[in-house]
Each structure stands twice: as structure tokens, then as C-alpha cells.
Amino acid sequence: MLSVENLSTTYQAPGAKPVLAASNINFSVPTGRLFTLLGPSGCGKTTTLRSIAGLERPSKGVIKAHDTVVYSSAGNIFVAPNHRQFGMVFQSYAIWPHMTVFQNAAFPLQVQKKRLSSKDIRDKVMKVLAAVSLDHVEEREATRLSGGQQQRLALARALVMEPRLLLLDEPLSNLDAKLRDKMRFELKKMQRELGLTTIYVTHDQSEALALSHEIAVMNEGKIVQIGSPRDIYERPANTFVADFIGTTNFVEGTVRGGADDRLVVDTRIGQLNVNAQPGISIGANVSLSIRPEDVHLSDTAPAPSSNSLFVGTVRAKVFLGECQDFKIDVNETQLLARAHPSVRTLVGEQIHIAIDPEKCTVLAA
Amino acid sequence: MAVTTPDGSTVHTSLVQGWGRSFDMKWVVIGLCISVVAWLALIPLGFLIWQSFASTSTAQVPAVFTLENYATAFGTTDSLGLMFNSLKFAFGTAAFALVLGTFFAWVNERTNTPFKSLFFAMSIVPLIIPGILFTVSWIMLASPQIGIFNQIFRDWFGLATPLFNIYSLTGMIWVDGLHYAPIAFLLVTAAFRSMDPSLEESALMSGASVIQVAFKITLKLAWPAILAAFLILFVRGIESFEVPALLGLPVGLRVYTSAIYDAVHSYPSDIGLASAYAMALLLITSLGIYYQSRLSSQGSRFSTVTGKGFRPRVSDIGRWRYATAGIFILYCIFVVALPFLVLLWASLQKYYAAPSWAALHNLSFAAYGEVLAYPGFYGVVWNSAKLAIGGATVVMLLTSVICWITIKTKIPGRWVLDMLASLPLVFPGIVLGLSLMIFYLNFDIGIYGTLWIMLMAYVIKFLPYGMRYNSTSMIQIHKELEESAAMSGASWFTIFRRIVLPLLKPGLMAGWIYIIVVSVRELSSSILLYSPGNEVISIMIWEFWQNGQYIELSAFGVMMITALFGFLMVVQTLSKRFGVKDV
């Protein structure tokens, strides 16, 4: 397992003001889990990963891997990256162009402290190359591999040393879209089978949602939310997360009243029923996040229920096959909606909207 | 141009006329440049080849075809020794400089060694301490007779025989290698900087130590660049004149460059033999440059440039950083502090004496006064200034047109022009001097024995530098910038003057300054071309040395180093303001 406590990393470019690239990062990853650092570029996710790797020297905090402290500012401990035994896959793959496939994968075994016989090295390397299905090209020059093969070789090289932790820095971002989808499944399968504790860095939210046990969303050097993929998507902690993960409608409003576990919010599109939320009291200004797929559309008026009901005008629609995207005006506010292809209302006509209180996320404005 | 009528067809016609006129002008300038370059680069070379097959002509006997020069140059055991010496010296110099330079490049780029800001400052040292002064200062430090090191060891440890002998092959390699190390440093640094840092980081993450990463990844990846650097240094070594002439000749240790000088300056001078030696030298440098350019052009397999802006990672090498800093400081002492201080010391004496308490009482500035009052001193400085500024200006303007032709046009055969302008790379200075001397002695157009022939030598010698500075800038100028000027109705000449030259300015200025600095130190071509009355600074130093005027030489040397240093500092400050590229 890995635990990161109060980690901060500062960049000091010569002659420039120090930049706090990652500040006060806290998280822990149980053994065998895949933990993703997700955020836009410049949010500090790569800095955090490189600090865990030991490629950057943090300015304060503690990093523990399997109860071994690899960094502690208070204890003045800094284990050099080559002594941490963490496998890492770089965004550019960093395949050494002067070596063959086999030599690339064998390198970690050849340089490690524990001497292995060349037969042992060969066995281990061939096993791991077989696992990423590169065993048939072991003698090929590494530069003559395709992008996907290079990516798998980089993974093999990281795995051959039986790392205590696997670090992946945007490993799929250099592949074309189709290959990326395929590798996403392979990576997930391999991680689950090997049970390797893995830290994954990406800016691609769908990748993060598809692969992770847990996600930390980062912005401006800080973690803004940690949770399971479902948590992050369905219950974003703030407008940044709601906006960054997927598409959403933000509706501003003021809490008018409430009973039991329900609140009523006055907004420009009308009154909305939402679930009560700790810390949100009557009179507060809030922002409601409603995913397009949670804006239910129907050609005729639905039966009354706890759902909030509205009538809007279809401004535009796009037919996508398995679904349709709508732009709907409700009291001069535009809502995005994703609906089943069976909805037949035409552009310019009136349409009925129902919103489930469960699906409205209340965020402090 | 008839632009007054708003009628479309008239405007169209005027444009065509404008193009027609500029077309003519363009060809005049291009033709002129091509013929000048061909004349500069080819004729002396061709004449040199012819001369190497000719017997010595006297008043009675005209020159006839002979192979005797080659027989003498290659057919004797003596001449085999000469070739062997040349190769050993060049190889040793290149290897020593490369090991030092590569080590410093690695220390500077990849470790947390202190005093890093000094490393790049060091790389301008060969620019401000000319080879001849550097060699002289090392004679004062390590000659068996007057060398300070030997005196110290004799006085302190009672050694009977001198410990160091600078007049030896080892001494020559030591001095030249120290002096060329900064070139190796810059070349290898460039290779290290173009490397994707994640290649090394991934080795580190694989568990490799800092040293394992350096040897198994960094050096292996930079290997083609390091090999190319070796060839460049090898060619520099084989062309080197000052060190073999001052350290080798006194003990009969001859290499090709010093043998050429010897053959010309012996009586009667043997031009044919000198030409044959020059041909051997040309063959070696051509091979070196050829393989170097092949190596540079085929580096694709190892191309590791990703264009991604990572900050290069610096390894903590713990206590070793004091050792690496120590080695660097020792190098600084050997290459700057000691040579400059020994010259400074000598310049303050009345008669040359090694540093001691007794000699400390004899300090005086008399030598400086003597140099300033030396007959012809101001003339010499003025000559150098005229040659440096004139040569730099001609080279930069000429090469700007050549680069425009080779990069911006599709004229068939433009590669020939590129090759011609780069050809002088293979001319060692002394060979260039020799070929110009022979040619203009035979075809007297009145420039032999004047400053003009030296200007010509400088222009030829520094043509490739001008090409390098101008072509890097020229590539960056987008074709459309010129095309839009043409569409605005400008002629070719106007476009070149108003658009191309101003955009080239950063590279143009940097090259101009660099050529000025290297012109002032030029010795190996000038030595065969000067005549009494038109000496230049480097020749004056050479004459001081030949006359045994060490005190005056030192005073002159200190002034020259200070002036060059001051010039570069001023340039550095100005260039920051005007955006001139680094020299």
C-alpha cells in the first residue's frame, strides 16, 4: 500500500519565483488498488507522481510504501528513485533506442543489486514479454516497434522488476483512439490479475472512470475530491469537478424551504426539488448540477411524482443513433438533455421535462 | 510602375515589369556570388595540387612534372615518422579534449555539482586566450629550463632532473587538449540537451545507479554525437599549428603543419615538398570532415528529440559533487588562472625570472611602455582591426546570399555552391596560406605581400562559419515573408535588403562578432602571407617569441587578453539588449 501525507512540491526555476506545483496532498492506496490522479494539464498530477517516484524532491510531507518511508521532510529521509523499486511507464514510453526489445526489458534485472544468472534473467524477461505478447519480437530493435508495442514494452520493463508500486504517467495518451480503447481494457485486466498497487495519471476523464478503483481530482496543485468513479461522477463535490467530469447543466438558485430530507430551490427555470444536503440551509445561494442524461424528456405530460416538472421549447436536436442530444429553452435558460431516440418532439415544439431530486447535485455557489 | 490608373490590367502589367527587372538583378548578384566563392575556394586548391607535382623552378630551370615531392613526402622512414607523429598528436589531443569535455558536460547537465554557472563561462576561454599565448604560457610553466613547475619541484623536493617536459608529444597533447576541451564540452552538451530526459529517468526507476545510467544510457545515446565531436577535434588537432611549432619544432618533433612551415622557411625553400605535405594533410582532414558529416546526417536511429519541454533532471551525487567540482576548479586553474597569471607575472618583470620573493621587488610596468612605444605597434593593431572587421563583413554578407540561394531557391546545382562554401573546412590554416602564397606569387595581380592577400585568406577560412551562422537563421525565415514583399511590388534587391537581411540580423551579428574574434588570433595562415610592414597582432606575438622578447610578449599578451575579454563582455551586454544570438 501507499500513503502520501501533507505532500508539497515546489519548483524553483533559476531566477524565478518558486512555484508550488503540488500542495498538501493526502491520500492512501490500499494494496492491489488502482488509484488515479485526474485533472487538467498543469494541475500538479504529474508533479505528484514524480514526487512519489523520487524524480522530484518534495519540499515537505511523508511518502510511505508498504510501511517503508521513502520520503519524509521531518525525518530528512529521501530514498533515491533507483532504490525505491517502483516500476514506471512514461508518457513518451522512454524506450531505449540503442537496445533490442529483449535488452530493454532485461535492463532492470541487469542493474539490480541482487545478481541473477543470465538464464534466470532470460526466463523472467520472456515471461513478462509473453504477458504483453511481445515474445515473438524479442530480438527486434526497439525503435522498430509500433506505438502500441512500445507502450506494452514500457509496461513489460516496469513489471519485470516485480515492483512494489506501479506508476503510470498518461500511458495511453500517445496512442490513437482505437488502440487506446483496446489498451485500456488490457491494462485494467492486467492490473486486476497481478494485483499491483498502481498510481495512474491522466487528464482523460473517461479513462479514469473506466480504470480506477478510486480517483483523486486535482486542480491548481490541490486535490479537490477523492472518491470512487461513481461518487465522482454522480456526486461531484464542487462546480470544478462537476464541470471537468462529463457534461453538465449548472442551474443557479436560492434555497426557499424544505421538509424532512428535501429542499425546494428557486431557480430561473422554476422550482426544483432536491435532496437535502448537510451544510446547505434555507436562504443559501446554490448551484445545481444536472447531467444531460438525467433531464428526462417526454412528448406528453408525465404522471405527477416527486420529480420536478417543466415545459420547455426544443431549440436544436442532434440524432446520434443510440441517443439524441437536445437543447431546450426553459424560461430563457438553456438546458442540455440526452434522451432516448424514441422522443419525437420536433425543433420549435414544446417538450415535457422531469428531473429526479436524487439526480440534482447541490453545490455551494 | 504605372500604378496611377485604377484599371486592373495596367496594375497587372506593372507587376510583371517589376518582376522582370528584379529577375535580372537577382541573377547578377547570384552569379557574382557563385563566381567569387568558386574562385576563392577552388583556384588555390587546384594550384596547390598542380604545384605538388612540379619540381622547384629556378631562374635557369623551369618547373617540370615530377613525382619526386611525393616520394620525399611519403617514401622515406622520416616521412612515415612525420605522418605517425601527426596522427598520434591529433588523436591524443582529440581523445584528451573529448574525455575532459564529455566529463564536464555530464557534470554540468546531469549532476548537482556546485559552481555550475562557471562551466559556460569557461567555454569562451579559447576565444579570449589565443593558442599562441596559451602555448607560450605553458612553456613558462613547464619547460625543463625555465618552467615554474620544474623549479618548484627542484627547490622543494630536490629533484635533479626536471619533472615535466612540455617539449614532448605528451606536452603537446596536454596543451592542445586542455585548450580544445571547451569545444568538446559545447558539442557534447548540445547532444545531452537534445535527449528526452525520460530515457534516463526510466533507467533510474529500473533501479540503475547514477553511474550506470551515465554509462549505459546517456553516453550510449549520445555516442554518434560524441564520435562526431571526436572527428571535429581530430581535424582541429591535425590542423593545429601553434602548439607543434612552439613545442615540437625546437626538439625536432615534427607534424605536417610544422613541417610545411619548416619547408617554406628553410633555405632554399622547398615549395614542392610543402605542397606534398599539404596534400597529405588535406587528405586526412577531408576524410575526417566527410565521416563527421555522414555521422551527423544519419543520426536518425538515435534521434531522441521529442520536443517536449521537460526540465532536465539533475542527479544528487552526494559527496562526489565536491570531487567533480574539484576537478573542474583544477581545470580552470590549468586553463585560465595559471596561464594568465604567468603571463601577468612575466609582463611585470624587467628580465624574465621565475616567481620568487627576490623577483617580487623588481616589478615594473616598463614592458607595457615598451610595447606601446614599439615601432609600428599602432600600425599592427590597426591592420588587425581592418582585417577582422573587413573579413567578418565580407564573409557575413557573402554567405547571406549563398545561404539564400541554397535554402530559399530551387536552382539546380545549388548544392555545389553549398559544398564550395563549406570546402574551406578541410583547409588547415597553414595549407590555405601556402596555396594562396604560391598562387599569387605566380599570378601577380599585385596583392602578394599586401593586406589584401591576408583578407582573402581570412574570408576563405571563415566562409564556413558564416554559412553556419546564416543558414540556421535563414531556415527560420518563412518563404511567405518574401513572397508578400514581392506581391507588394518590391524588387529582389529591395526584398533582400529590407526583408531578408533584417530578419537575419541576430545570426548575422553573432557570426560577425565571432569572426572578428577568431580573426584577431589567426596565425597559421598569416604566418606564410605577411610581409614586413603589414604584420598583424598574432604575427607580432610570434616575432616577439622568435626574438626571445618574453617580457614584451607577455605584456602584449595580457593587453590582448584583457581587450578581447572586454570586447566580449561589451558584446554580451549589448546583445542582450538587441537580441543577438549567443556567440
Over chain B (583 residues), the average pLDDT of each successive run of 10 is 39 42 66 85 83 71 75 79 93 96 92 83 80 93 86 79 88 95 89 85 90 91 89 93 93 92 85 86 89 72 43 78 91 91 89 74 83 87 94 94 86 81 88 89 83 93 92 84 79 84 87 91 91 89 90 92 89 71 50
Task: Answer whether A82 sits within 8 Å of B208, measured CB to CB.
Answer: yes
Whether residue A66 is predicted with pLDDT greater than 50 in this model: the reply is yes
Cα–Cα–Cα angle for A360, A218, A172, rounded to 5 degrees:
105
Q: Which residues contact A179 (CB under 8 A, 6 or more apart)?
A: A147, A148
Can you give the pLDDT at residue A114? 82
Task: Answer whether B201 sits within 8 Å of A86, measured CB to CB.
Answer: no
**Alpha-carbon distance B342 to A147, whole Å?**
60
**Alpha-carbon distance B542 to B298, whole Å?**
42
Annotate A238-271 with b (16+ C-beta within 10 A) or e (fewer).
bbbbbebbbebbebebebeebeeeebbbebebbe
**Alpha-carbon distance A334 to A326, whole Å?**
10
Tens of pLDDT, residue by residue over A302-338, are 888 888 899 999 999 999 988 999 999 998 889 999 9
Task: Answer whether B202 sits within 8 Å of A53, measured CB to CB.
Answer: no
Cell numbers describing residue B243: 602548439
With beta carbons under 8 A apart, name residues in chain A contacting B223: 98
* Max Cα-Cα span within chain B: 99
With beta carbons under 8 A apart, name residues in chain A contacting B205: 53, 55, 81-82, 84, 86-88, 158, 167
Tens of pLDDT, residue by residue over B202-228, are 999 999 988 899 999 999 988 888 998
Closest CA–CA distance from residue A154 to any residue of chain B (Å): 9
Residues of chain B in Cβ contact (below 8 Å) with chain A: 196, 198-199, 201-210, 212-213, 216-217, 220-221, 223, 301-304, 306, 308, 311, 313, 316
Tens of pLDDT, residue by residue over A220-263, are 999 999 999 999 998 899 999 999 998 899 999 999 887 778 88
With respect to CATH, is domain B76-361 assigned 3.90.550.10? no
ipTM of the complex, rounded to two decimals: 0.78
- In this complex, how many residue pairs, one in chain A and one in chain B, have their CB atoms less than 8 Å apart? 81
Pick from B198, B212, B301: CB nearest A92: B198
Residue of A nearest to B223 (CA): A98
Closest CA–CA distance from residue A361 to any residue of chain B (Å): 39
Task: Answer whether B201 sits within 8 Å of A81, measured CB to CB.
Answer: yes
Tens of pLDDT, residue by residue over A184-197, are 888 899 899 999 99
With beta carbons under 8 A apart, name residues in chain B contacting A81: 201, 204-205
With respect to CATH, is domain B365-583 assigned 1.10.3720.10? yes
Q: Which residue has the cell 580573426?
A: B519
3-state DSSP assignment of residue A297 = strand
Pick from A84, A91, A97: CB nearest B304: A97
Mutate to test the interface with A, among B196, B200, B205 (most CBs of A within 10 A): B205
With beta carbons under 8 A apart, name residues in chain B contacting A94: 196, 198-199, 201-202
Please count the other Cβ atoms lying within 10 Å of the Cβ belonging to residue B403: 26
**Alpha-carbon distance A337 to A345, whole Å?**
13
Closest CA–CA distance from residue B193 to any residue of chain A (Å): 15
Can you give the pLDDT at residue B50? 82
With beta carbons under 8 A apart, name residues in chain B contacting A85: 207
For the segment A128-150, the average pLDDT, to the nearest whole number, is 89
Can you give the pLDDT at residue B58? 61
Per cent of chain A over pLDDT 90 is: 58
Which CATH fold would you assign to the domain A247-364?
Answer: OB fold (Dihydrolipoamide Acetyltransferase, E2P) (2.40.50)
Assign A177 a pLDDT band (cuts: 50, 70, 90).
Answer: confident
Can you give the pLDDT at residue B311? 56
Facing residues of A7 across strands? A25
Residue intervals of chain A classified under CATH 3.40.50.300 are 2-243
Burial class (CB in 10 A: 0-12, 13-18, 19+), A140: middle
Q: Which residue has the cell 507522481?
A: A49
Pick from B202, B217, B316: CB nearest A90: B202
Q: Which residue has the cell 440534482?
A: A360
Tens of pLDDT, residue by residue over B307-362, are 344 456 788 888 888 999 999 999 999 998 999 999 999 898 877 777 777 777 77
With beta carbons under 8 A apart, name residues in chain A contacting B210: 82
Can you give the pLDDT at residue B61? 64
Residue intervals of chain B classified under CATH 1.10.3720.10 are 76-361, 365-583
User: What does the DSSP assignment read for B392-423?
Assistant: HHHHHHHHHHHHIIIII---TTHHHHHHHHHG
Residue of A nearest to B204 (CA): A82
Residue type present at position B505: K
Is residue B552 within 8 Å of residue B482, measured between CB atoms?
A: no
| Interstrand relation of A2-11 and A60-65 (parallel, antiparallel or unpaired) | antiparallel
With beta carbons under 8 A apart, name residues in chain A contacting B316: 80
Can you give the pLDDT at residue B387? 95
Task: Answer whether B205 sits within 8 Å of A91, measured CB to CB.
Answer: no
Task: Answer whether B216 sits within 8 Å of A81, measured CB to CB.
Answer: no
Q: Which residue has the cell 562559419?
A: B465
With respect to CATH, is domain A2-243 assigned 1.10.10.10? no
Whether residue A64 is predicted with pLDDT greater than 70 in this model: the reply is yes
Mutate to test the interface with A, among B110, B202, B302 (most CBs of A within 10 A): B202
Pick from B205, B217, B302: CB nearest A53: B205
